[in-house]
Amino acid sequence: MRAGLMALVLASCVGRSDVYPDPDRGSAPRRGGTLRIARESDPDSLDPGRSSGWYTARILVCVHRQLLTFADAEEPEGYELVPDLAVALPEVSEDGRRYTLQVRGGVRYSPPVAREVEARDFQYAIERVLRLATPAAPSYTGIEGAREYQDRRARSVRGIEVAGDRITFTLSKPDPTFPYKLALLAASPVPREAAEGHDDDYSFRSAASGPYEVERYVPRRRIVLRRNPSDASSAGFADRMEIEIGVSVENAYAALRHGELDAVIGDAPPSQLFRFRRDRRWRPNAFLRGFPDMTWIVLNTKVEPFDDPRVRKAVCHAIDPRAIVKAVLGVAVVPKGLLPSTVPGFEEGEACPGGHDPARARELLAEAGLGRGFSTVLYAYNVNPFPRMAEAIQAMLGQVGIDVEIRVVNGSVWDAVVGRRATRPPMVMAEWIASLPDPSDWLENNFSPFRLRADANSNYTEWDTPSARELFRRAADETDPERRMEAWREVAREVNRETIAIPIAEGLAFNVVGARVRGFLFHPIWGPMLERMWLVR
């Protein structure tokens, strides 16, 4: 933390007064100024092909563009796909396997590359994601030849063809969600001359195609964005964004109240939330939004004693999501099903019918031969509210004889630690936020046997049975919209029956922006849009 911000935080503890928003909301948007931002931890990566973090995405969408993007709107309009670096939405073949797009001309990368974005840059970007086996790689393995390329049996992906300013993707089978995958950050164009030989440090030298570029990134200290001098669009209002790293959300929102910060990448904690909500003067700058987010406790079916379904049920009965939502989160929704209620294909259903029931949990443990309890480990992110939620779960499981050690992990190394299958994490507090509006995004990434990987694995359950494989195969192959949704609902029902994931909280985001900030927009995929914020003074 810089000395100036630390001084502010100390001052806030001795009664410094709030700087309130101007009640006049009628002024027109203006360009200029520096947006002062704080976040609690380092991004997982500033490489668009490697990053999978939702909070990091708020930064990266300012820097990188894609062939397609989501409409610049809140829910539900924000789920609509629109062209971005493509001239139009893709032309789709009659069999649903070929997608052809024309790349828009006149869009240039930031210096020193400074040339126009070309169709071949999208081919290189997706092949790079596949070659590096990043968290986004499974999104593109449905392209013909992708698996051969990943296995080093081909020099390129035969299902990606470039002809001038046109690019064509041929899939091995129809995938109704493929257009959404062209809007992911991982599909951002990457110029070969900037990235080749820099697999591990492209975060520090990425070529921007969006309105901002990364001027400086000092891990654990700060990120600075400035206007991309090559960008000819009118996007983005602030001239610069200065993002301080390592500031707790409690201290950051205190700093925001006193006029020293404009935005925080992270929701307001309960300690600040109620103060902002009670104060009418802050209401114009305080925003409560629902969004497609779910936090589960997932149990590794390949680690004893969670290979026993009775033990998994016992853990489920021991945990009280309602108490966690009320005491720890302040604002959130008690889950009614495995998926968030806003996700297509949602239906109500419990992982353990009867809900919170410690007596039943103890009975199940006794039936499993664990009447004296057992010890285990729970992995969680190191930023709040996750450590506080983990402590609440630790206490609840302790009441039925389960001794839980909590291990918190920084988001920048999460995939390398928790996502490494050799770690074999017994329990994981896993959060998933939609990257596309479809149940497959949730169910495949978190529970599919076909997504199990040695590294950057997101299926912490390691659930892999013949029936699971058949359910996922059937859902992935179905193209009729109604039958497809029903197939994914059946996958969710089976996950509930197996009790491999215990829903804890469905997300509500409470964000407050500083007194001089206008233009807040909460996008259902990206969250608060930093490039839309403008300053009145």
Class of 65-196 in CATH: alpha beta
Q: Tell the residue number behind the tokens 């668009």, with chain if given.
A: 48
The pLDDT of residue 440 is 96
The full set of domain ranges for the chain reads 1-63+210-262+513-537, 65-196, 290-509
CB 456 within 8 A of CB 135: yes
- Give the phi and the psi of residue 333 in degrees, each rounded to 5: -115, 130
Which residues partner with 99 through β-bridges?
A: 92, 169
Which structure tokens are listed for 352? 């353990």
Specify the pLDDT at position 373. 96
What are the structure tokens assigned to 362, written together? 């103890």
Strands (DSSP E) contained in 62-205 are 68-70, 81-83, 91-92, 98-102, 160-163, 166-170
DSSP states of 312-359: HHHHHHH--HHHHIIIIISS-B--SSSS-TTSTT-----SSTT---HH
Tell me what pLDDT residue 6 has. 38
Q: Does domain 290-509 have CATH number 3.10.105.10?
A: yes
Using an 8 Å Cβ cutoff, are 50 and 44 in contact? yes
Maximum Cα–Cα distance across the chain: 69
pLDDT of 14: 42
Q: Residue 309's pLDDT is what? A: 97
Q: Which residues in the chain land under pLDDT 50?
A: 1-15
Residues pairing with 226 in the sheet:
213, 240
Under CATH, which architecture does the 1-63+210-262+513-537 domain have? 3-Layer(aba) Sandwich (3.40)
* Whether the domain at 65-196 and the domain at 290-509 fall into the same CATH topology: no
> Taking a C-beta distance cutoff of 8 angstroms, is the pair 380, 388 a contact?
no
Question: Which position has the token pair 């789709």?
Answer: 92
Please name the helix (run of DSSP H) or strand (run of DSSP E) that holds residue 431, with its range, or none.
strand 427-433
- Candidates 210, 207, 217, 203; CA nearest to 114 is 207
pLDDT at 493: 96
Q: Is 365 exposed, middle or buried (0-12, 13-18, 19+ CB in 10 A)?
A: buried
Q: Which residue is listed with tokens 């974005």? A: 117
Query: Per residue in 62-114, pLDDT tens?
Result: 999 999 999 999 988 999 999 999 999 999 999 999 999 999 999 999 999 99
Please say whether the beta carbons of 351 and 501 come within 8 A. yes
Helix/strand/coil for 380: strand
Cα→Cα distances 61→70, 185, 474, 509, 529, Å: 11, 7, 34, 19, 8
pTM for the full predicted model: 0.88
pLDDT of residue 16: 53
Q: What is the CA angle 132-210-199, rounded to 5?
A: 20
pLDDT one-digit tens code per residue, 466-485: 999 999 999 999 999 999 99
